[in-house]
Chain A
Amino acid sequence: MTISRRTLLKVIGAAGLVTLAPAVRSEAKIGPDSFATLIDLSKCDGCEGKETPLCVSACRTGKKDLFPKVDKDQLLNYWPQKKYEDWSDKQHLIDRFTPYNWLFIQQVEVDGKKISIPRRCMHCDNPPCAKLCPFGVKHKTAEGPVYIDHSLCFGGAKCRAVCPWHVPQRQAGVGIYTLWQKYLPVAGGGVMYKCDLCRDLLAEGKTPYCMVSCPQKAMTIGRREDILNQAAQLKEDRHGHLYGMDENGGTSTIYFSPIAFDKIDKALSTNHNPKEKSKPVPLHNAENILEKQNLWTQLSLVAPIIGVAAALGLTRGETAETEDK
């Protein structure tokens, strides 16, 4: 069989294009019309005097249909480990992320001033939780929200490990793994839960529960471009600070604070009671695990070209002979 130079060039060209096309489009960004939110910490007072902050109770009421409904018979150890994660008896907790509490208020004193910080999923632009899920059941949408498909999640909790703020939380005894765990307890640990930015409400043109309920109007949602402009303006006008613009590669949640975030973060870790089981959710300069490895990602994408080029180099003379025949 002989190969014409033209055929060969077509094959190489096609192979090269397959590899190069993604690289060219890799600068695609989250669209300006997607949703973003701004949380103004100078306005939030943590609903002083109330047992539960209104945003927290609104979230818990509004999203309760999505909370896990545990079959106690399915609460089995993660074999061969002798433990499982069950929050069903701790649904009342409102001071941390749990499968039943997707938003909480962190409070800390900095320079004699009490600061209240609503914490929930940041809905990152390049979310490692979604992109590293081995079964792709955590989704980043073009509209902005990052959400979990509860019907397909195995609860491996990798998303929690790669999230700089460890937002997603696991509940055992629910989800697809309950189909087999009694017979073959080798994979799965439940389902992961976290804020989905009320994507169902957004699709209907409504506002997320937490934002509607805030008496201080500390949280706003809108077009990404508008929110980013608003945040930049706020920073300039009030000589404040922003968090969430670049952290973890950029997010759809921007915090504004008159006090520097590194100061707040330091206070969060200093004031933390080490006897408490839950660790404070930081406000640090979070690095994105995916962005750190961009060089290796690019190398894997150009690998086909390297292989093809090596083969062409090694067989150059042979083709000439074949074509000369």
Chain B
Amino acid sequence: MATRIRHSLTVRITHWVVALSGILLLFSGFGQLPLYKRYNLIKVPGFAWSSNYEITLVIHYLTAAVFTAAVCFHLVYHYRRCEFSILPRRGDIGNSIKGFKAMFGLGEEPYHEKFQAKQRVIYTIIGTTSLLLIVTGLIKSYKNLGAIVLDPIFLQWVAITHTVTGGIFMMLFLAHVAALLLKNHRPMIPSMITGRIDRGYAEKHHPGW
């Protein structure tokens, strides 16, 4: 089977570091809500610790550090290499709608380059959500350093934004995984592991690449 390179090793490592730290952040973040005791996760063998706020907070800090470093790395790395093909362009919303329709056999897929219009839009949504989580998370971390008093209402909005955005991030993550399980998206999965994608698939779905 003829293949071509889609993602470099650096891109793949960054992706998986963000993905794995993101999963742990979601788990430890939901642990910071009083959920696991109420919903009996603590009764599942091996998860008795999950309602311990101290443990989930340490996991949250550590994985937040990894996630934040990986996202900052991603931004600066691609900025330095002038790689902007995943950023949204004029007309992407319309083409995304066409692309989503095509996924369900309604019409033709628009002409795509390396990234499809809907991939660029989704990247922007997930990216913005991640940055919001990082900025609000940094403020939350800062105020935890000691006897620091910030404006209570400002902190309230920071906390609400962080918690609500965390929920949105989880839904986006689930949608991302669900989309990859669709039959016509499955050939993209190997490219995130080996870096290579089927040439025939690329010519069909990314003819302008």
Q: State whether A311 touches B160 (Cβ < 8 A).
A: no
Least Cβ distance of B43 to chain A in Å? 11
Q: Is A139 in contact with chain B by the CB < 8 A criterion?
A: yes
Closest A residue to B73 by beta carbon equals A307
Q: CA–CA, A80 to B137, complex, Å? A: 30
Interface size of B as a range: 35 or more
Q: What 0/1 pattern do residues 289 to 302 of A give for CB contact below 8 A with B?
A: 11111101111111
**CB-CB < 8 A to B146: which residues of A?**
26-29, 126, 249, 291, 294
Closest B residue to A79 by beta carbon equals B38
Q: Is A140 in contact with chain B by the CB < 8 A criterion?
A: yes
Q: Is A67 in contact with chain B by the CB < 8 A criterion?
A: no
Q: CA–CA, A310 to B14, complex, Å? A: 12
Least Cβ distance of B11 to chain A in Å? 12
Q: CA–CA, A79 to B122, complex, Å? A: 35
Q: What 0/1 pattern do residues 175 to 189 of B give for CB contact below 8 A with A?
A: 000000000000000
**CB-CB < 8 A to B104: which residues of A?**
none
Q: CA–CA, A294 to B61, complex, Å? A: 10
**CB-CB < 8 A to A31: which residues of B?**
149
Closest B residue to A250 by beta carbon equals B147
Q: List B149-181 residues whose CB lies under 8 Å from chain A.
A: 149, 152, 155-160, 163
Segment from B62-70, B94-102, B108-116 that makes contact with A: B62-70
Q: State whether A141 touches B149 (Cβ < 8 A).
A: yes
Q: Is A245 in contact with chain B by the CB < 8 A criterion?
A: no
Q: Is B3 in contact with chain A by the CB < 8 A criterion?
A: no
Given known A300-B61, A303-B66, A311-B73, contact A136–B160 (CB-CB < 8 A): yes
Least Cβ distance of A139 to chain B in Å? 4
**Partner among B33, B142, B157, B160 whose Cβ is within 8 Å of the Cβ of A156:** B33
Q: Is A184 in contact with chain B by the CB < 8 A criterion?
A: no
Q: List A256-307 residues whose CB lies under 8 Å from chain B.
A: 289-294, 296-304, 306-307
Least Cβ distance of A196 to chain B in Å? 13
Q: Is B106 in contact with chain A by the CB < 8 A criterion?
A: no
Interface of B is mostly: helix
Q: Is A132 in contact with chain B by the CB < 8 A criterion?
A: yes
**CB-CB < 8 A to A66: which residues of B?**
none
**Partner among B141, B157, B159 whose Cβ is within 8 Å of the Cβ of A133:** B159
Q: Is B72 in contact with chain A by the CB < 8 A criterion?
A: yes
**Partner among A29, A293, A310 whose Cβ is within 8 Å of the Cβ of B69:** A310
Q: Is B138 in contact with chain A by the CB < 8 A criterion?
A: yes
Q: CA–CA, A249 to B144, complex, Å? A: 12
**Partner among A2, A11, A162, A299 whose Cβ is within 8 Å of the Cβ of B62:** A299
Q: State whether A299 touches B53 (Cβ < 8 A).
A: no
Q: CA–CA, A80 to B43, complex, Å? A: 13
Q: State whether B79 touches A297 (Cβ < 8 A).
A: no
| Chain A to chain B: the 3 pairs with minimum beta-carbon distance, closest first | A136-B159, A307-B72, A139-B152
Q: State whether A307 touches B163 (Cβ < 8 A).
A: no
Q: CA–CA, A19 to B72, complex, Å? A: 12
Given known A1-B82, A158-B34, contact A308–B147 (CB-CB < 8 A): no
Least Cβ distance of B128 to chain A in Å? 17
* 4 additional contacts (CB under 8 A) given A22-B138, A142-B149, A314-B77: A133-B159, A300-B62, A304-B68, A319-B80
Q: Is B2 in contact with chain A by the CB < 8 A criterion?
A: no
Q: State whether B147 touches A125 (Cβ < 8 A).
A: yes
**CB-CB < 8 A to B157: which residues of A?**
136
Q: State whether A307 touches B62 (Cβ < 8 A).
A: no
**Residue among B72, B84, B146 with most chain A CB within 10 A:** B146
Q: List A49-89 residues whose CB lies under 8 Å from chain B.
A: 78, 80-81
Given known A1-B82, A132-B32, A319-B80, contact A297–B144 (CB-CB < 8 A): yes
Q: Is B194 in contact with chain A by the CB < 8 A criterion?
A: no
Q: List B118-139 residues whose CB lies under 8 Å from chain A.
A: 134, 137-139
Task: Pick 7 A–B contacts, CB within 8 A, sort by A.
Answer: A11-B79, A22-B142, A78-B38, A81-B38, A135-B163, A136-B159, A297-B144
Q: State whether A300 touches B137 (Cβ < 8 A).
A: yes
Q: List A301-325 residues whose CB lies under 8 Å from chain B.
A: 301-304, 306-308, 310-312, 314-315, 318-319, 322
**Residue among B38, B71, B137, B160 with most chain A CB within 10 A:** B38
**CB-CB < 8 A to B76: which residues of A?**
11-12, 307-308, 311-312, 315
Q: CA–CA, A301 to B67, complex, Å? A: 12
**CB-CB < 8 A to B149: which residues of A?**
28, 30-31, 140-142
Q: State whether A306 touches B156 (Cβ < 8 A).
A: no
Q: Is A203 in contact with chain B by the CB < 8 A criterion?
A: no
Q: CA–CA, A299 to B71, complex, Å? A: 15
